[in-house]
Structure 1
Amino acid sequence: MNQKTTFIWAGLLGCLGVMVGAFGAHALKPALEAAGRLDTFETAVKYQFYHTLALLAVGLMMNHIPAKALHYASLLFVLGILFFSGSLYILCMTGVGILGAVTPLGGVLFIAGWIMIVVSVVRK
């Protein structure tokens, strides 16, 4: 992903994080508490924001470090958010436990994204 695409994804995922977080805190809170999923939902929102901020940082780094690894880091963070947070959101809404098996894949994608940042700096 290039710098422009990285910033677009960061903006969209940041906006979505605010919307989903507010929806969960207000409209869904009673249902999430009754299902015992409030903590899970909050974890999904937190990791979405952490990695949205990481996307912004990667986009800024692209100005200073012309490394292909940063493009991969950007993509890995977006996919990580979709798999990690997305699977947790769906789990909270549907109660389908098998979706919890997708969540670790998102975590691996996050780890790979952070490694790509390191690779880009080391190779500079």
Structure 2
Amino acid sequence: MHHRNRHHSVRKHLQYTIIAKKTCGRPRYIPTHCPMTTFSALIRGAAISGFIGVAAGAFGAHGLKNHVDPALLPIWHTAVLYQLIHTLAILMLVGLAAHINESALRWTGRLFAAGIVIFSGSLYVLVLTNVKWLGAVTPIGGLCFLAGWLCLALAASSKTGR
């Protein structure tokens, strides 16, 4: 009985909702302060980005060797690496939703997504087209990544973070 009351108080305090009867013998909760649409959008976006990242990695390892300057291959690999790291970071946000406020969650996700598109996207296009001025766009994506990590750090240290 004490075990049940403890879960009830945690659920009430953190505004959680039970989403499954049992997971590994315990009730499973998700935060209700963050709408399912936010979770769905983050997961869907990360899934698409992960698919593209893995495909781009395979293409870079097997399909680009004979079609681009070999000196550009490390640039391609950097784009893939940053895309996949930040794809996992977006998925991590779903798990952190109980600990950071919804606004910080959304902004961090948006900044990471923008970083993936601008940073990795500009590098992919640079390698495929050899258009050098795209190298000037890439740091904007890097700044998006940095801003996303900063947003997450501020949310974790703020009094309004959960």
TM-score (norm 1): 0.93
TM-superposed deviation, 1:120? 1.4
1:54 aligns with 2:59: no
Q: State the match for 2:46 in structure 1.
A: 10
> What is the alpha-carbon distance in structure 2 between the residues aligned to residue 7 and residue 64 of structure 1?
18
Paired residue secondary structure (1:31): coil
Question: % of aligned pairs identical?
Answer: 42
The unaligned stretches of length 5 or more in structure 2 are 1-36
The unaligned stretches of length 5 or more in structure 1 are none
Q: Is this contact kept in 2: 1:48–1:85, CA < 8 A?
A: yes
1:73 aligns with 2:111: no
1:45 aligns with 2:80: yes
TM-superposed deviation, 1:55? 0.4
Aligned length: 123
Which one has a bigger Cα radius of gyration?
2
TM-superposed deviation, 1:35? 4.7
Which one has a larger percent strand, Structure 1 or Structure 2?
Answer: 2
Q: Deviations over 1:68-100 (max 9, x none)?
A: 111100000000000000000000000000111
Which one has a larger percent helix, Structure 1 or Structure 2?
Answer: 1
Higher RCO, 1 vs 2 (CA within 8 Å, ≥6 residues apart): 1
Give the root-mean-square deviation of aligned CA atoms.
1.4
| Deviating 4+ runs (over 3 angstroms) | none
